[in-house]
Structure 1
Amino acid sequence: MQVVFDEIPETVIPRMRGGAGEVRARMFTDQLGKIMRGTLPPGASIGMHSHETSSEIIYILSGTGKVLCDGVYEPLTPGACHYCPKGHAHSLINDSDGALTFFAVVPEQ
């Protein structure tokens, strides 16, 4: 099955998971998980949340930022991949002056 993000309508999610600003996302979801291409504008974030029934993989396409995972900040640059295992918590933060674009996969386990 092919997922063509440019054919999926963009959704604007204000304060995603209690974060700051908004996330612009194109998402494919079904009962097995979620696949998303998202953009965080400067200063925006996805709030701290835990993955009780899933893990999450975030691959940075463009821009820079950081992730807070289990109390540790990790810098993110294009080509970086962040993994949040099932049972852990994280937050994605754009602390730069440019947009942060990422690809995320959340498989239900």
Structure 2
Amino acid sequence: MLLAFDTIPEEIVPHMRDGEGEVHLRKFSDPLMKVMNGTLPVGATIGMHTHETNSEVIYILSGRGKVLCDGVYEPLEPGSCHYCPKGHGHSLMNDGEEPLRFLAIVPEH
């Protein structure tokens, strides 16, 4: 199945997971998986949350930022790939100087 994100309507999510600012998402989901093409504007965050029933992989397409995972900050840049296993928590932050574009894959377990 081809996921053509440019044909999926953009959803603007304010304060995602109690984060700062807003997240711009183009999302595909079914009962087994979510795939999201997202953009975090400068200064925006996705708040800390725990993956109780799933895990998440975030691949950075452009921009710079960081993720806080299990109490450790990890720097992110284009080509970085972050993995948050089931039962763990993380938060995504754009502390860079341009929008942070990412692809996130969230499989259910």
Report the AA paired with residue 29 of structure 1.
S
SS in 2 for 1:78: coil
- Could you tell me how far apart the structure 1 residues matched to 2:17 and 2:29 are? 17
Q: Please report the TM-score for the alignment, with normalisation by the length of structure 1.
A: 0.99
Q: Does 1:63 align with 2:63?
A: yes
Q: Quick one: percent identity of the two aligned structures?
A: 67
Unaligned runs of 5+ in 2: none
SS in 2 for 1:6: helix
| Regions of 4+ moved over 2 Å | none
SS in 1 for 2:74: strand
Q: How many residues are paired up? A: 109
Give the CA RMSD over aligned residues: 0.4
Q: Does 1:83 align with 2:83?
A: yes
The residue aligned with 1:101 is 101
- Could you tell me how far apart the structure 2 residues matched to 1:96 and 1:2 are? 31
Report the AA paired with residue 61 of structure 2.
L
**What is the deviation of 1:97?**
1.6
Question: Can you list the C-alpha shifts for 1:8-43, whole angstroms capped at 9, x where unaligned?
Answer: 000000000000000000000110120000000000
Q: Please report the TM-score for the alignment, with normalisation by the length of structure 2.
A: 0.99
